[in-house]
Homo-oligomer: A and B are copies of this chain.
Amino acid sequence: MAAAAGVSITTVSDALNGKGRLPDATRRHVREVADRLGYRPSAAARTLRTGKSGLIGLTVTTYGDEPFTFTEFAYFAEMARAATSAALARGYALVILPATSRHDVWSNVALDGTVVIDPSDQDPVVSELVRQGLPVVSDGRPAGALPVTAWVDNDHEAAVLGILDHLAGAGARRIGLLTGTSTDTYTHLSTTAYLRWCERVGQDPVYEAYPAHDPCAGAVAADRLLARPDRPDAVYGLFDPNGTDLLAAARRYGLRVPDDLLLVCCSESTVYANTEPPITTLSLKPRRIGTAVVQLLIDAIEGVESDRPVEQVIPTELIVRTSSQRRSPRTTVSPPRSSEQT
């Protein structure tokens, strides 16, 4: 590397680690040579030199000690995959900790830093890691004064308002919400955005909240929402399985989607392109988030000066499918069909 760049080994090291006092041109030149040679920083070599472990953690702390196999949800699986790739590409090992991780148990693992997904508002894991002087990057902006090193998130309020306007534009008169009982900012901001929208347009809120790590609870909550006397004619569900939860509940009550009930859910799952009918989904772009959190974490661990902002908002995407589009602008309300059990 040094020979190819025509500089000293120290200069190469300083240039790649963002250290020392080098002219920008030299730093740029060394980085170009490194790229051309396909050089990748070796955490292995760095570990021997610095005493760091080369390990970074990833965990979901939202549900405290509740067991939660989070990679079975498409969002977490895609996010973890991107995070793994980003870690491997910079020579780090990613430790995917159980959601039940308590710092007193896993503290024997010498992590250089940790990615925490959707921390709750007074997250003890985040506080303890920060107290130990370890970098913490959160997926989801921290609530209140939670002292993370950096965060990556979406603009959840804008996303929810966009969905509600989309549903109202398709003819919805009473929009319901399926939400969670946890205190992470995703759930919190999405719910308050919904309540404010209701206030603005003069609609009474119609929502059910459930512990989102429990898939059975989602089916029950969807059923409860559609069994209400003030039954909504459109629903937005905040969690991955809510689309199928709501479709099943609609079928039980003889409601046709989209004719009697418009549906949108937040999901990364491709199954919603092939449900009957296909369901409109909000994508939070977990691959971009997973890559960004790991880049920020490794920058913090290595003390690299980078031009990456430490608070990043990633755009969302609404993928509009049949479930949220009325077939005609003036649909005749059909009589309820007999209940179908599957």
Residues of A within 8 A of B (CB): 38, 40, 42-44, 47-48, 53-55, 57, 67-72, 77, 80-81, 84-85, 87-89, 91-102, 105-106, 108-110
Query: Quick check: B96 and A88 within 8 Å, CB to CB?
Result: yes
Query: A188–B111 Cα gap in the complex (Å)?
Result: 38
Query: A334–B233 Cα gap in the complex (Å)?
Result: 58
A51 (CB) vs chain B CBs: closest residue: B108
By secondary structure, the A interface counts as mixed
Query: Quick check: A105 and B44 within 8 Å, CB to CB?
Result: yes
Query: Quick check: B44 and A102 within 8 Å, CB to CB?
Result: yes
Copy count, this protein chain: 2
Query: Quick check: A71 and B44 within 8 Å, CB to CB?
Result: no
Query: A102–B72 Cα gap in the complex (Å)?
Result: 31
The minimal Cβ–Cβ distance linking A61 to chain B, given in whole angstroms, is 14
With A55-B95, A81-B81 known as contacts, the answer to whether A88 contacts B70 (CB < 8 A) is yes
Give the chain B neighbours of A87 by CB distance below 8 A: 96
Give the chain B neighbours of A48 by CB distance below 8 A: 105
Query: A53–B87 Cα gap in the complex (Å)?
Result: 22
Give the chain B neighbours of A102 by CB distance below 8 A: 44
Give the chain B neighbours of A72 by CB distance below 8 A: 85
Query: A214–B100 Cα gap in the complex (Å)?
Result: 38
The minimal Cβ–Cβ distance linking A31 to chain B, given in whole angstroms, is 17
